[in-house]
Chains A and B, each alone.
Chain A
């Protein structure tokens, strides 16, 4: 079980709880604005872009090569960007803060 906070594009923090599955699915299930996950979670659409809090980046780790390339589609990508369909929920992610990319 992990509590994950999404900071939406309107700068509103929303904390939700998840047990398993991807962070994207958790966001969609909780109707987090700005996380669409149009491809269903196969790293094909780049509509689930989040910025991970800097000091927590090691919790989620680096993006894979495909994911890094896909992130280049978005001009707002930075060193702490991830596509959250590629992050699986584990207990270790408890307290994670993700800012939905604008």
Chain B
């Protein structure tokens, strides 16, 4: 494998999560011979994030399933600088300054800075006890510690998005009394059809989680050992632990300071280059024009971070990049496996298909006119796989056949014959 870079080059990657770590290894795979430095403020060896709200809260296994073993970095000669943050970027001299005072030069800089959970401006939230977000391994560890230490195990989750719901399911499995408070009139309102919202509402209720929509949390009152979460309609919920899952803000401080263009994320071209061609941005922190959906989007997903990492690595090594523009996601709650492909925003008609021979398996197909935009598949990987193929290929579907659950789902059956 050849790469046009030389050994004098240095690639510094800010952020050692799914994007940053995959980029470092992809550079080596593509033949990069220069120095590779990975920097992250998180002092833990880089780990998988999705399990933090899923399996880690319920298993004996401590939070932090490693992305790569430590020997992997040594073998690939990837220098890890953990527990240190980057505080300054000097584009003119191509140097960065770290929080430990050291200054390092780069040939290429990659911002894989991710996002940070939002702490909403709720009165008393900062002073409340046992308030957690869930984004890092330390967050997951802190939740587990607090959970084991508290007597009544009453948990209030503020925000009914995926992270909130996964956390609710995991803590419920551990025996918590969980209440989810959602501000909108339905769960997952921003990302799914009402059918899916209703399904997850029912699923959590069945599993003993109290879910309330239209709840605007206005205040947290804290006494000796418990919090009371107060909503604007006057209702109150007692909580030993409060989980805040109301979304994230993009970490753009460095990019702003470096005067890069930012618009709902660090703006990058199809090669993941910012307006400075030596500085790249990948993952949750960047906004890119999506050729499939023909609009600018910013994605929060493992798949996007990994794919963009491979694109940036290829570009740095002057190889042709390959990017899959149709995103996919997954969520595990209780025994339910949800797989999603595509982006449903802008849909004007949907088809819901329940599998007659598989109770508990169904899929929601989002269309704009005849074009399939996205599929949400519950316990039905086949629908997810077929959806992926139809979205990618732009092949039209026969909606009548798709609706007919007396015939099993196969590509031939649901393909529209011209």
A14 at the interface (CB under 8 A from B): no
Max count, chain A CB within 10 A of own CB: residue among B51, B54, B302, B381: B381
Within 8 Å by CB of B50, from A28, A39, A67, lies A39
List residues of B (123-163) whose CB comes within 8 Å of A's CBs. Answer: none
What string of 1s and 0s marks CB contacts (under 8 Å) between B100-125 and chain A? Answer: 00000000000000000000000000
Take A28-B68, A31-B68 as given contacts and tell me if A70 and B51 are in contact as well, using a CB distance cutoff of 8 Å: no
Take A31-B72, A45-B303 as given contacts and tell me if A40 and B48 are in contact as well, using a CB distance cutoff of 8 Å: yes
B53 at the interface (CB under 8 A from A): no
Take A38-B306, A39-B50 as given contacts and tell me if A44 and B385 are in contact as well, using a CB distance cutoff of 8 Å: no
Q: Is the CB of A38 within 8 A of B302?
A: yes
B322 at the interface (CB under 8 A from A): no
Which residue of chain A is the closest to B330 with respect to CB atoms? A44
A59 smallest CB distance to B (angstroms): 24
List residues of B (360-418) whose CB comes within 8 Å of A's CBs. Answer: 380-382, 384-385, 388-389
- Number of residue pairs spanning A and B whose beta carbons lie under 8 angstroms apart: 48
A65 to B361 CA separation, bound complex (whole angstroms): 12
B173 at the interface (CB under 8 A from A): no
Q: Is the CB of B382 within 8 A of A69?
A: yes
B76 at the interface (CB under 8 A from A): yes
A40 to B295 CA separation, bound complex (whole angstroms): 30
A31 to B70 CA separation, bound complex (whole angstroms): 11
B315 smallest CB distance to A (angstroms): 19
SS class, residues of chain A in contact with chain B = loop
* Range, interface on chain B: 20 to 34
What string of 1s and 0s marks CB contacts (under 8 Å) between B286-325 and chain A? Answer: 0000000000000000110010000000000000000000
A65 to B332 CA separation, bound complex (whole angstroms): 17
What string of 1s and 0s marks CB contacts (under 8 Å) between B70-87 and chain A? Answer: 001001100000000000
B221 at the interface (CB under 8 A from A): no
List residues of A (24-52) whose CB comes within 8 Å of B's CBs. Answer: 28-29, 31, 33, 36, 38-40, 42-45
B284 smallest CB distance to A (angstroms): 15
B197 at the interface (CB under 8 A from A): no
Q: Is the CB of B68 within 8 A of A40?
A: no
A12 at the interface (CB under 8 A from B): no
> Can you report 24 A-B residue pairs in the complex whose CB atoms are below 8 A from each other?
A28-B69, A29-B69, A31-B75, A33-B29, A36-B306, A38-B303, A38-B306, A39-B50, A39-B302, A39-B330, A40-B48, A40-B50, A40-B65, A42-B54, A44-B330, A44-B339, A45-B302, A45-B303, A65-B381, A66-B381, A67-B381, A69-B380, A72-B385, A73-B389
Binding site for B on A (CB under 8 A): 28-29, 31, 33, 36, 38-40, 42-45, 65-67, 69-70, 72-73
Binding site for A on B (CB under 8 A): 18, 29, 48, 50-51, 54, 65, 68-69, 72, 75-76, 302-303, 306, 330, 332, 337, 339, 380-382, 384-385, 388-389
- Seed contacts A31-B76, A69-B380; 18 additional CB < 8 Å A-B pairs: A29-B69, A29-B72, A31-B72, A38-B302, A39-B302, A39-B330, A40-B65, A42-B54, A42-B330, A42-B332, A44-B337, A65-B381, A66-B337, A70-B381, A70-B385, A72-B382, A73-B388, A73-B389
